[in-house]
Structure 1
Amino acid sequence: MASTHSSSDLESEPHRPSRLRFLVPGLLVAIAVPVVILTARGAEPTEPTESPVVPIAAEQPVRELKETSLWNPATTITPASYSDRAALELGTRFTVSAEGRIAGVRFFKAPGERGRHTGSLWNSRGVRLARVSFTAETRSGWQEARFAQSILVRPGQTYTISYHSDHGTYAGTRGDLTTAEPLTPATRRTGVFRYGASRFPDRWNPKNYTYYVDPIFQWWESTPRPNPGTPTPAVTPAVTPPAAPTPTVTVTLPAPDPSPTVTVTLTPKPSPTPTPTPTPTPTPTPTPTPTPTPSKSPTPKPENPVPAGGFPSAASTGVTPGTQLTVVNGDQTFATDGQVVTGKEFRGFVKVTGANITFKDCVFRGGTTNRTIPLFDSTRGRDTVVTDSEFAPANPSAGIDGAWTRNTQILRSEFRGSTDGIKAGSGTVIQDSYIHDLTWFASDPDQNGGPTHNDGVQSLAGETGVTLRHNTIDMSTTKDANAALQSSAPNTTVVDNLLDGGGCTLNFSHNGLSGALTGIRVNGNRFGRHSFFKCPILLSTRTTLAELTGNVFDDTGTAIPQPERHD
């Protein structure tokens, strides 16, 4: 519920002299008045003379400082609460339709949340404009902090108000957008977040959750008053002076001549409003018409925001609940650029050779084979996207992996039952996905007849630029698993993931490279304690980490040990 508050007790408009209060004193306006003629008894009238100019006050508009916020802190709300057990920044994106200032920040503190909090204001480029620490917090409910100096905001720009939590318990609700003109939440990507230290929150849930972070907006509003008409001066009666030897003088005022009406208009000089650069709307690519075939619905999954309840799980990944799937039998190759493929269950192996092909709400099941092959192969494609999909072989074997990729984004997808989850090649981004319960085999031809070496994600020498962001990769559910990530790919980034299992959970090796393995960044991850060797990270002797910060054990939040190092 929007809230608008009048703040008439505030002394002055920011950055204006304190003498300008809500009622501006009337300006003095010169208006001509009738001529006064003096006559003496027995004397001829003299020529008229001009009287002094008489000032008349014209009332001006009342200027009042207003304050508003998106949610009324006096109104009781009961949003759902979630615990991610990880430090994170949560925010709200907003715009204003009138120039004003952000005075501070509020956030709704979920029950069970604890620790210190800071609030921040950011511009659209991710520059922090102001920061404040919260003090005297209550156990739950709305908390408020004011910036040391209010910050100017203008129409046509998008800002983000946020707070940081070390504990990671927060309130969140799908939708619940409110408007308090001239303050408006962004209609898309309203609620944003980012894991780790306090940084610009630039990630969002596609279901448009709000996290109850509220800007305190102030602006000046003028209430116009009607300009007064031409004043009619009062007629001065005849004046009889006291008895004296001088003649009696009478002041006579003739009927007044019409006087001009003077109108005074105060026009404040507006501050220039920057014009936002429009974002071109991409032309949607046509969806091929499927051949009618029997359909089935996936097992319904409860909706779950991201972030919510920790990290991605079966509840927050995979096919969108309610999607009707069309079964496609046999192996398939997609070569036409720009295709969008939705709602398919592939009962064969899928290969991508075209560019800009998107798969959404699909299930990849594969077929029966003794070959070494993935359910989904995009190594010959370009700019492939897979979102809200599932990879689970119908007939697992030692040679079947979930996906082999290059230049591919995999978002909100689930991998289970294959030997390796993903063999990630150059330019692969894996985000908000869940890899778990891979299948172990006692005999694997690729291991010279030995048992499988299951990896959640594997990147081989010769690949580069792989990113793992906010995934759950749980290898503790797979017998004798090798690693959540086994990588020989330079410039690999591993950030904001929940990782567990394997001999060592992350294993970086320069094997297969002509030189050192460099450009590795491992930041803000949470680790389980189920690696065989009690080893969160293993580095080969010629592996160099570019960044290693904020990595902790999931159960206690304590820092993990320094990486082990050997070949």
Structure 2
Amino acid sequence: MPSHSMAPSAYRRRIDRPPHGRRRTARWRRTAFASALVTLIAGSALWAFGTATAHPETVSLLPDDAVPAVLTDPDSRPVELGLRFRTSEPVEAVALQVYLGPNNHGPHQATLWSGRGRPLARVQLGGAAGDGLRAVSLERPVRLEPGRSYVVSYTAPGGHYSTDEHFFDRSISNGPLSAGANAGVYSYRPGEFPRSTYRATNYQVDVVVRPAGPGEEPTTSPTQSDGAPPSSAPPSQSPGPSTSVSPSAPASSSTAPSTSPSSPTGAPTTSSPAPTSAPPAGGFPTRASAGLPDGWQPKRSVTGTYTISTPGAVVEDLRVTNGTINVTAKNVTLRRVQAVGSVIANYASATCATGLVIEDSEIVRGTAPTTDDAWPAVTSGGYTARNVLIDGVPEGFRAQGRSACGGVAIHDSYVRVVSPDVCTDWHGDGIQGYGGGALTVRKTVIDFVDTNNCGGTAPFFYPDQDNTSVDIDGLIVSGGGYPFRLGTPGTVRNLYVVDRSWVFGPLDVRCNLVTQWQAATATLNSAGQPVVVRNLPCTT
């Protein structure tokens, strides 16, 4: 489970060398990289912004010769570190640059994003730890427009990045570029769009731009409106993955690192048979059919934490409100249990209560506002869910702790995750694996609902982040950037992606790892069953 471990720069008290004198004055300057990009006009040519010149100078936001106050942060977790900025005039981004301290080992990938998290350009930085300021030109210039927010970020796969806390206590500017307070952003999901902030920290990543003439066409064509930038308010808790959980207090659920949406190479080792229009025998569950039986009433109601410590216990007809169903014994069965504003957890003090079975039960939101630091509805591993309804909460099933817990099986269940009421850095999922064991899914539906443009990750998310494998036969997914994201080996059959429910595309899959593939886009009929629109090969 996520822990309360600190955000980037949270515990950086060790200083590798004395802090430099920060130069935060707004001034025009050329970047150290400029000489590799342009030919200087004779004499001491100045930036002529908006003026047509054969060799315009370049500019970036941060000083090229500044030395970070902390060269090596002790944080060793993989992390995405970035800078949110704007431009007051049309410019072209021509390079990205990062300060690489002595222990910031690569490979490093840098990304230029729109303000809403759409990748505009990506480059590999190259170089080695200790190189200092490292700049790499983009393959093609990217036009940036005034009045819009952008983010430049890079991945530090082994942490140990360089920082300056409180650098962005106030806004700064240089030429057309500016950054507001709390402009430094991060995410513990390497390769994904960073949104969180901490102590106005500067993570030493920057963009290099040159003037763009009025009326020029962008070199990349946006596919969606970028709108307003994400909120810069810090999350209420600092993200950070962990393999243990203390069910007595909620922890952040926005921590699991993830791979970025990408276009995997390769193809399935077997050909893709055409899916049938008929769902698996018995059909898929719906919101009305899943979970507790009609007319159910609890025999016992509890408010707060309810702990089950007897091995082999069978707990039936229980309602728990605003708490945690804390399973600490093995081979427990929860039958006809309702968790209202509550979660089910079987992993505490580094011990996993394996053999947990949850059946004919439901986990639903309570009356309190939901937040993006909510726990998953069910966690952590070594459990089987049959006919379970999860509805209205920001996080669904979590599979993790594979060495202590083992695999997870989800059968005949219905999940509707909904963006939180209080949203700063939501990374919600219907099913997510982070260090998860073998995952089995049968006849399950996941609906991903983002009601307030909060973001989230995906209905199904089992990437290459120490997960084992998947065996999927019967899964409907709807919503999210990519409704189905898979980066582990396994088999996928009877996968239905609700047609046009996605933001970026239907799939984000490492197809070369999938040994069997059968999928389609589909609509849902009045009975909630899929009707195939078109075959969906694993080629993205």
TM-score of the two chains, using structure 2 as the length reference: 0.47
Say which one has the larger Rg: 1
TM-score of the two chains, using structure 1 as the length reference: 0.46
Q: Which has the higher contact order (CA 8 A, sep 6+)?
A: 2
